């Protein structure tokens, strides 16, 4: 089913305890502005490609993190990078690596990955 995912990314493991979601959400709210463009549809492939192309090259990270929330125009999708303790990986100025985007629709494969959770982590 996920045959196109490269060998360096394992299938995601949901992070299903609420404190991590709230800490993650609060940190990204403060430091990651929402991009101005609205994406018509986010697919699992596009989400994975972002992680493959935009990973931090100047620091260590262990996980790719994705979170979603409802948004008046669809979904607010956050993509970021974390260490093995689930702390966000940040730039020298303290801002986390990653992005926040509004997407009108999440494709079926991506929705399936979340399995009812709001945050999922891919082991690097």
Please, which residues have CB within 8 angstroms of residue 38's CB and are 6 or more apart in sequence? 73, 74, 101, 102, 103, 104
Which of the four pLDDT bands, split at 50, 70 and 90, describes residue 38?
very high
Q: Give the model confidence (pLDDT) of 39-94 as tens digits.
A: 999 999 999 999 989 888 888 888 888 888 899 999 999 999 988 887 888 888 88
Rg over CA atoms, the chain: 13
What is the token pair recorded at 79? 């993509």
Whole-angstrom distance, CA of residue 1 vs CA of residue 109: 9
Which region holds residue 122: left if phi is over 0, alpha if psi is between -120 and 50, else beta? beta
State pTM to two decimals: 0.80
pLDDT at 20: 55
For position 95, what pLDDT does the model report?
87
């Amino acid at each position: 089913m996920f045959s196109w995912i490269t060998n360096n990314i394992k299938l995601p493991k949901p992070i299903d305890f609420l404190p991590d979601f709230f800490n993650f959400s609060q940190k990204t709210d403060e430091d990651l502005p929402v991009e101005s463009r609205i994406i018509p549809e986010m697919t699992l492939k596009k989400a994975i490609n972002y992680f493959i192309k935009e990973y931090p090259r100047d620091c260590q990270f262990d996980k790719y993190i994705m979170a979603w929330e409802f948004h008046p125009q669809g979904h607010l999708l956050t993509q970021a990078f974390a260490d093995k303790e689930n702390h966000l990986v940040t730039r020298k100025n303290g801002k986390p690596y990653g992005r926040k985007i509004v997407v009108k629709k999440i494709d079926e494969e991506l929705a399936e990955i979340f399995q009812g959770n709001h945050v999922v982590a891919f082991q690097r």
